[in-house]
Structure 1
Amino acid sequence: MKRILILNYEFPPLGGGAGNATHYLLREFSGYHDLEIDLVTSSVDEFKIEKIYKNVTVHFLNIGKKNKRLHYQTLKDILVYSFKAYFYSKKLKKRKNFDFCHAFFGIPCGYIAMKLELPYIISLRGSDVPFYSKRFYFLDKILFKRLSFKLWKNAKKVIANSEDLMLLALEVNKNQKIVVIGNGVDTQEFKPLEKKLFTRPIKAISTGRLIERKGYEFLIEAISGLQEMELELIGDGRIKDKLKKIAKEKNVNIKFLGKKSHDQIASYLQRADIFVLPSLNEGMSNSILEAMSCGLPIIMTDTGGKELIKNNGFIVKKGSAEELKLALTRFVNEPRLILEMGKNSRELAEKISWKIASREYRKIYDLI
């Protein structure tokens, strides 16, 4: 029996891709009866312990969120989690006698794992890699780059979720050994409608936090002037009002649908025609995988996850409204591409599952 401590400050309904990835991986790990897993994560309201599977227990620590901005963790949220997770996990370690720790995010969770003096592996998710996000630029420069070097060097294994994220991480230490294990997708939860009617206007959709890094300003500008296209944005964030103002000025046919629970997303994707990810930086986007699984062609920027685009969409330059418009116009002028590339997306998604991802993680677990 292997006893594993998993640390992640995000877990549904808190957070985004990393939380959902942990959720799906735990579901797959529930089938491994020789694993006993404890996840220490954040709560939206109060401290609680839930046994979600026979061999998986989740410890929710109250970090004072009070159901506010669930999609986004502030620096204060992360610091409160770090403090509480360290002392809670230290007590838990005495009772559980863990074999090792799996830390999602090098900072803060990898640091907590190192301080617990457990063997540990780190799953890099994006924002924890120095210079991935402008939000942490100065901290990356004066502290996190050196700290990441140490954390990764001492880890039993460092895992990135995309080739691009691995390359960015190697800028911290070119000699660091990093393996890539991509995200998966639940092809039963996310699947195309059996009978879908194509109508005008063409509906483009994007899901994600409304923050600068997601590049939505460029997408809104790209859609301006395309009378045969409408846009739906699912998500919330600090630049929502700014985006609404830009959309009004550009006279764009757009619907801001707000944040939706993860189990609502599939129905919106199924009714759309094209998925667009205009991000300035990404690790491996769960959103792209879910859109592919729903049979949507993809337009994405040249960032993490672009290896998923194989005759099922277009890759455009980051921060270029012009290239986004050209790709969108292709679908307006050649609607057959929506069906052809959408079919290719679904076929590719069927080869990418959380079961496969969990097997890759299990191989690493067995080496520790």
Structure 2
Amino acid sequence: MKVLYITPFSSNSNNYFNSIYREGHDITLLTDDLTFHLQRFSLPSFESSSKQIIGPYYMGILKKVIYKLNFSRQLIYFFIRKIDESYYKYLRKLKNERFDIVISYRDIGLEYIQEFKKKGAIFIVEEVNTHPDFMNKLLKREAIRLGLNPIKNILSDIKVSNIKEAYEKSDYILCSSKHVYRTIKKRTQQGKKFIINPYGCPYPLIKKEIKEFKKINLLCIARIHLRKGIHYLLDVYELLNQNFPEKYTLTIVGGISSDPGFNFNKVNANIKFLGSLSKDKIKKLFIKSHIFVLPTIEEGQAIVIGEALSHGLPIISTPLSGTIDYIKNNELLEKSYKNLSIQIIQPSNIRIFYDSIIKLSNINAYKKASESSLLISSQNTWNLSGQELVKKLSLI
């Protein structure tokens, strides 16, 4: 196969890119992501090659600045539009080449979908989140529930319109989880074709060393935003701290949103907000933490959950986190529910949320849950996920 992969992110795409290359296919990657472009300085191997990575790397620098600093929603809309437009000069050349498959993130390359298809390409839109209408509706409802003014949409109206048009013009939509598939299928034309390919996990630890359990370390990696359900996590921690002073610590890693609703002056002083961190520092947090909590309101499939599983952390999350899509079979899923390696909760139900943490506070229960988390990740590594995608692409 000759494949063109258009993506602004390396988090999942790097693994898919390498998987397609490993199977001997000809793949060109168009991206602004700096992680990819820095790989261009490395030598090709049997596992990966950066020879055919192209794109506006300078926009990748701008993107890092945007998400590092606390810009307004209007400025973010403006910059995202400019980043998308920076792909056009590359696409104007690439549309004249013949590809068997073009995979493009959301609406990037919308103007050229028909031209690629006329050249014989199968055009696949990759979607990593739920349908934008579903997302916006969910978050507006959540803002009202919390007594906040409904936030402006995460995506601009123009962006949403373009994404919907890309859905309709594409041959397939690639979804990371079953709930992403369901929200889009319900809102697209009948007969639309889909590929569902859940993300994988990094290679797991052989065993999680539990050096200390008198103090239990809770970890959340998420942007401080209404969408991530951080309000509920703070409420649960307050309750834990009242009933068991000094027994639990909470560390939250992630940038801070410019949207209203968070008053850090009222947050428990024992909670650590560390901002954005590099992967090596996050790995150290995974090693010393016990339980991973992600009370997200909306997600496609949270990559951090796969990372937490591979470090032996039991997961407490929500139906829209994509957690259960990491599990490869129903038998393992049932066992995971029973041994508490996976607990799916509604974050607004503070009592059940609280109880899910208490259940893992017994050392024997915790060890079983941790071992199961490692088993889940060993059965669904990124290599296996990438191979599954290549198989599915070969069949279309």
| TM-score of Structure 1 vs Structure 2, range by shorter chain | 0.7 to 0.9
Give the deviation of 1:289 after TM superposition.
Answer: 0.9
Deviation at 1:209, TM superposition (A): 1.6
Tell me if the contact between 2:310 and 2:378 (Cα under 8 Å) persists in the aligned partners. Answer: yes
The offset of 1:293, in angstroms, is 1.0
Secondary structure, in 3 states, of the residue corresponding to 2:78? helix
Q: Match of 2:17, as an amino acid? A: L
Q: Distance in 2 between matches of 1:112 and 1:265?
A: 39
Please list the CA deviations of residues 99-138 of structure 1 after superposition, one character each: whole Å capped at 9, or x if unmatched: 331112x2x2262551653431122100664332447749
Structure 1 range deviating more: 286-295 or 55-64: 55-64
Equivalent-residue separation in structure 2 for 1:276 and 1:29 (angstroms): 33
Q: Distance in 1 between matches of 2:259 and 2:358?
A: 25
State which drifts further: 358-367 or 201-210. Answer: 358-367
1:225 corresponds to 2:249: no
Q: CA deviation at 1:66?
A: 7.1
Distance apart, 1:341 and its partner CA: 0.9
Match of 2:182 in 1: 167
CA apart distance, 1:321 = 3.3
Map 1:284-295 to 2 at 5 A: 284-295=301-312
How far is the alpha carbon of 1:7 from its aligned partner? 1.0
Greater shift in the superposed pair: 352-361 or 124-133: 124-133
Further displaced range: 257-266 or 275-284:
257-266
Tell me, yes or no, if the aligned pair for 2:220 and 2:292 is still in contact at 8 Å: yes
Match 2:22 to one of 31, 40, 59:
31
Contact 1:223–1:252 (8 Å) recurs in 2:
no
Provide the C-alpha distance between the structure 2 equivalents of 1:102 and 1:66, rounded to a whole number of angstroms.
Answer: 21
More RCO (CA 8 Å, sep 6+): 2
Counterpart Cα distance in 2 of 1:116 and 1:240: 39
Query: Contact 1:5–1:38 at 8 Å: present in 2 too?
Result: yes
Structure 1 residue runs without a partner (length 5+) = 11-18
1:6–1:211 CA distance, 2 compared to 1 (3 A): same
1:237 alignment partner, one of 256, 263, 267: 256
Which residue identity is paired with 1:163? K
Moved more, 21-30 or 296-305: 21-30
**Residue 259 in 1 paired to residue 276 in 2?**
yes
Give the distance between the partners of 2:26 and 2:166, measured in 1 at CA.
25
Are 1:317 and 2:316 counterparts? no
Tell me, in whole angstroms, the C-alpha distance in 2 between the residues paired with 1:128 and 1:82: 19
Per the alignment, do residues 361 and 192 of structure 1 end up closer, same or farther by CA in structure 2, a change over 3 Å counting? same
Query: Does the 8 Å CA contact 2:95/2:112 hold for their aligned counterparts?
Result: no
1:322-341 maps to which residues of 2 (within 5 A)? 322-332=351-361, 334-341=362-369
Equivalents in 1 of 2:382, 2:31: separation in Å? 21
For residue 91 of structure 2, give the secondary structure of its aligned residue in structure 1: helix
Partners in 1 of 2:131 and 2:54 — Cα distance?
A: 22
Amino acid at match of 1:27: N
Aligned to 2:201: 185
Q: 1:131 aligns with which of 115, 130, 134?
A: 134
Distance in 1, Cα, partners of 2:164 & 2:267: 45
Partner Cα distance (2:38, 2:55) in 1: 5
Contact 2:225 2:257 in 1 (8 A): yes
Contact 2:168 2:189 in 1 (8 A): no
Q: What TM-score comes out, normalization by structure 1 length?
A: 0.83
Partner Cα distance (1:67, 1:149) in 2: 27
3-state SS of paired residue (2:23): coil
Distance in 1, matches of 2:64 and 2:168, equals 37
Task: Quote the residue 1:7 is aligned against.
Answer: 6
Aligned residue number for residue 229 of structure 2: 215
User: Equivalent residue of 2:390, what SS?
Assistant: helix
Give the superposition deviation at 1:179.
2.8
Q: What's the secondary structure of 1:132's corresponding residue?
A: helix
- Which residue matches 1:68? 65
Task: Report the RMSD for the aligned CA atoms in angstroms.
Answer: 3.1
Query: Match for 1:57: what amino acid?
Result: Q
Aligned counterpart, 1:92: 94
**Higher percent of residues as strand:** 1
Counterparts of 1:211 and 1:293 in 2: how far apart (Å)?
Answer: 25
Paired residues of 2:3 and 2:27 also in contact (CA < 8 A) = yes
**Cα deviation, residue 40, structure 1:** 1.6
Shift of 1:49: 9.2
Q: Once the 2 structures are TM-superposed, how far is the Cα of residue 219 of structure 1 from its aligned partner?
A: 0.2
More helix by share: 2
- Where does residue 283 of structure 1 map in the other structure? 300
Identify unmatched segments of 5+ residues in structure 2.
Answer: 70-74, 140-150, 328-332
Identity of matched residues, %? 18
Match of 2:143 in 1: none
- Please report how far the alpha carbon of residue 336 of structure 1 lies from its aligned counterpart in structure 2 after TM superposition: 2.4
